[in-house]
Amino acid sequence: MRKLISLVVLLVIVTGIGVSLVVTPFGAEEAEWEPPSRRERVNFGRYYVHEGLEETGATNIVTSVVVGYRGLDTLGEVTVLFIAATGLAAVLHAAAKKPVGSDRKPASLVVFTGCRFLFPLILLFGTYVFVHGHLTPGGGFQGGAVVASAFLLVILGCRGRRLNEETLSLAESLSGLVFVVAGLIGLVVGGAFLLDFLPRGTPYLLFSAGIIPIIYIAIAFKVGSELGAIIDKLSGSPG
Amino acid sequence: MVSPILLIVVPLGLAFAVPLLERISKKLVGYVPVLAMAFNLVLSVVLLRRAVSEPIIVHTGSWQPPFSIHLVAGPLGLLLAALIALIGLGVAVYAMSTIREGATRLYHVLYILLLTGATGIVLTGDLFNLFVFFEILCISSYALVAYRGDRAGIESATKYLIQGAIGSSLALIGIGILYGMFGTLSMADIAQHIHSVAPFGLFMALALLITGFGVEAAIFPLNAWLPDAHSSAPSPISAILSGIAIKVGIYAVARIIFTLYGLETVFLFVAVLGLLTLLIGEMSAFSQNNIKRLLAYSSIGQVGLILFALGIASVTGVTGALFLVVSHGLAKSVLFLSVGVMITRTGSAEISSLDGMGKRMPLSALCFTIGAFSLIGLPPFVGFAAKFTVVRAVFEQTSTLFTVLIGVALLGTVVEAAYFFRIVQRLYFKPPPEGSLDHAGRGQEAPLSALIPIGILTVVIIVAGVYPGLFSSFLEPAATDLLDKAVYIRHVLGG
Amino acid sequence: MTFLYDYVHYAGCFALVLIGLYAVLVKTNLIKVIIGIGLIDTGVNLFLVTTGYIRAGTAPIFSEAAAQGETMVDPVPQALVLTAIVIGVSVLALALSLAIRLYRHYGTLDLRKIKELKW
């Protein structure tokens, strides 16, 4: 009975969405660029592509959208990850604990050596990705995820090494505060939250694009430490 | 400098700082939500007076609208923000003394973030930002429902999470369809160009958005998660969920229907849906034995009534709906908080364990009674003014269909009165069980730190009931804010 | 056939969403339901990115080598998807932790057996 109802619901959703897709244009043609005052309808994408480099100074337009134009969304997203890590810790807090690795075979020598060799390299790559977030594809979230995967490698491959929870929690809080404080400084200095108060600099250089690299580095620390804490908790660490 | 964005950013910053503060002093952690909500309350009341004449538009990053994310702090947004801060403050003080086991620091962090998400939803003017803050609200409520870690809590949190996650994904598809058609995410901008596109895609997006946000707002077929979640959560969280979270979900649905779309044909559908929700909620509540489940079903019923009042779509109707939001928020919080102290005292959530509470815990029972009477709509309390406004709105309408519908809605009120009177009778007229009174015939009252917030909220109910002008001077501009699409667009985009 | 070519991208996204929806509605093992939620998230994110495609556009990143006048795809859906992916991961992490606790309480992940709360 439940399967039948589910299939009917699915069929309804399929027809509805399928027919509605006819109205969403796919692969629009790039029209001539006109400045906003003369156009009938606003199109975000074209505005950001054409004006983004001058206004924010970052050559990666997606970064300038994520951190510059829609910075409040990014703050919300960082908060969501924080809630997930905190909620996970709260839910698993009182769970009955089995001793870690009691029924697991320890990693073999090859894996152990490989992990110790790879760990700093992966960290270096992740750092490269998030520091150059405003110049090349990548950024805080991507770099933070790579750093967290290095932590995952440690938990899986290095025999019994665990992450230091206190340090992770400290890093998490401090980087979140850096983001909020950077926005508030913008509010005090210029009257708008997340205002770009550092000089734009010349494009293509590492030290350019105002506060975008600073915020992205803070986000990378936060994401890396949070995902590391989540992985650590889920793999059954005590306490 | 004093800008509505501080209403979101300051609690957020305090929440991030809590793990650092815990190192300094463990006791300090319980005061942080109180501090955050007190700040929010003061700021939103101060800004509300300024915003009644003209909404405050905040641009983040000082980019020009509609290219930036902007907050629209109009009378409606600030009124709801003040309500969130008031109820949040009361429940935070209550939780300082009642949440003792588990990782209390994590509870307080999640609590502040839930309220931040709710405040962000009512203040924002951008569609995707609405979604992000909505997710903040939902995810922290999933975690808080599961906070106690018992079987019922984890099970209801799991069901709530699955339904909520599907709802959010559907809403995101709707947002994607809207972006694909309009090329912009600012609500004022979409509202301005809504008529220039073929209607079928719009209809699909509307259906997806209402379904997605409606899961959190507990509209009729989507509210299967609510009775379990609200009854298995710790009492302060039940108060916040019933009092604030569902209201904010309704605000999101209302903002989409009224400001974004503004179509006449949707209103009747909304009213009928509200009526169905009302009847099902009240009928189910009548047969419950567990007091918290009864209160949860009663919340479903009241949400139905609010939707019905929104469906009337006149200024008086929407004013009535907003008045109901305020009065139900206050009353339901008082009910859940007083029930919480009673359950802690007796250890059982069955209605039969509430016998004779009038003698054992006289103050808590009195606050419960006042909350119940306000919910039903009896005269000296704020619930009466709210329901009266709704009835007046119906009679201002010329359509006979609505007159019939209001009759059905009042039937729901009668059922509500029936089950609440039954409980009040048990509180005062049934003898308390053996051994629960000491020699002088007195019971053990709730601790003072739990009683004070309940008492303050009860006093607000009485004061607002006796002097409804306290709220109604803000409710009328708020209603116009919601209804009047052209004014909203003009304020945001500058004519 | 050309009609289908235009919409094959959208069809793919929605096939993912529907497979995920089917898994959530019909399957009784909690882990499969959680995987279904993940599939729905992936499908929706793919749909969002696809709406931003501009014909013959490249990634919206300027480099010293390329000329300034190249057509680029819409960067906004990519920013939205960045946020949506993180939100989806958070929901999945929380769901998995709830599944762990549920297993400790009930000893099974079969949703038909986890029905302690009645009507």
Q: Which domains does chain C have, with CATH numbers?
A: 2-57+72-106 (1.10.287)
Pairwise CA distance, residues A215 & B178, whole Å = 30
Q: Residue A29: what pLDDT?
A: 44
Residues B312-338 pLDDT 10s: 878 888 888 888 998 999 999 999 998
Asked if residue B155 lies in contact with residue C116, where contact means CB atoms within 8 angstroms, the answer is yes
Pairwise CA distance, residues B131 & B118, whole Å = 11
Asked if residue A228 lies in contact with residue A148, where contact means CB atoms within 8 angstroms, the answer is yes
Pairwise CA distance, residues B379 & B216, whole Å = 31
Q: In this model, does residue B439 exceed pLDDT 60?
A: no
Asked if residue C13 lies in contact with residue C42, where contact means CB atoms within 8 angstroms, the answer is no
Contact yes or no for B106 and A93 at CB 8 A: yes
Query: Measured between CA atoms, how close is A42 to chain C, in angstroms?
Result: 13
Least CB-CB distance to C116: which of B149, B152, B157? B152
Give me the residue spans of the domains in chain B.
6-493
Pairwise CA distance, residues B195 & B182, whole Å = 11
Question: From the candidates A54, A91, A166, A185, which should be mutated to test the interface with B, based on the most B CB atoms within 10 A?
Answer: A91
Q: In this model, does residue A230 exceed pLDDT 80?
A: yes
Q: Residue A214: what pLDDT?
A: 87
Question: From the candidates A2, A17, A20, A49, which should be mutated to test the interface with B, based on the most B CB atoms within 10 A?
Answer: A20
Least CB-CB distance to B61: which of A76, A177, A194? A194
Structure tokens, B96: 């300082």
B397 touches chain C (CB under 8 A): no
Residues C46-70 pLDDT 10s: 988 888 777 667 777 777 665 565 6
| N-to-C CA span, chain B | 25
Question: For A46, which residue in chain B has the nearest alpha carbon?
Answer: B183
Query: Measured between CA atoms, how close is C94 to chain B, in angstroms?
Result: 7
Structure tokens, B431: 């003898």
Q: Quick check: helix, strand or coil at residue C61? A: strand
Question: For C82, which residue in chain B has the nearest alpha carbon?
Answer: B132
DSSP secondary structure letters along B103-149: -HHHHHHHHHHHHHHHHHHHHB-BHHHHHHHHHHHHHHHHHHHTTT-
Pairwise CA distance, residues A120 & B355, whole Å = 66
Asked if residue B143 lies in contact with residue A90, where contact means CB atoms within 8 angstroms, the answer is yes
Q: Residue A30: what pLDDT?
A: 43
Give the model's confidence band at B114: pLDDT under 50 very low, under 70 low, under 90 confident, else very high.
very high
- The predicted model scores a pTM of 0.92
Chains touching A by CB (3 or more pairs below 8 Å): B, C
Characterize A29-42 residue by residue with b for buried, 16 or more Cβ atoms within 10 angstroms of its Cβ, and e for exposed. ebeeeeeeeeeeeb
Q: In this model, does residue A231 exceed pLDDT 70?
A: yes
Q: What is the mean pLDDT of residues B382-396?
A: 84
Pairwise CA distance, residues B228 & A230, whole Å = 27
Structure tokens, C21: 């929806």
Give the model's confidence band at A25: pLDDT under 50 very low, under 70 low, under 90 confident, else very high.
low
Residues B392-420 pLDDT 10s: 888 887 677 777 778 888 888 888 888 88
C112 touches chain B (CB under 8 A): no
Residues B280-297 pLDDT 10s: 888 888 888 888 889 999
Q: In this model, does residue B251 exceed pLDDT 60?
A: yes
> For chain C, what percent of residues have pLDDT higher than 70?
82
Q: In this model, does residue A36 exceed pLDDT 50?
A: no
Contact yes or no for A29 and C54 at CB 8 A: yes
Q: Residue A35: what pLDDT?
A: 40
Q: Where is pLDDT greater, at B35 or B199?
A: B35
Contact yes or no for A177 and B13 at CB 8 A: yes
Q: Residue C4: what pLDDT?
A: 58
Q: In this model, does residue A43 exceed pLDDT 80?
A: no
Q: Residue B443: what pLDDT?
A: 62
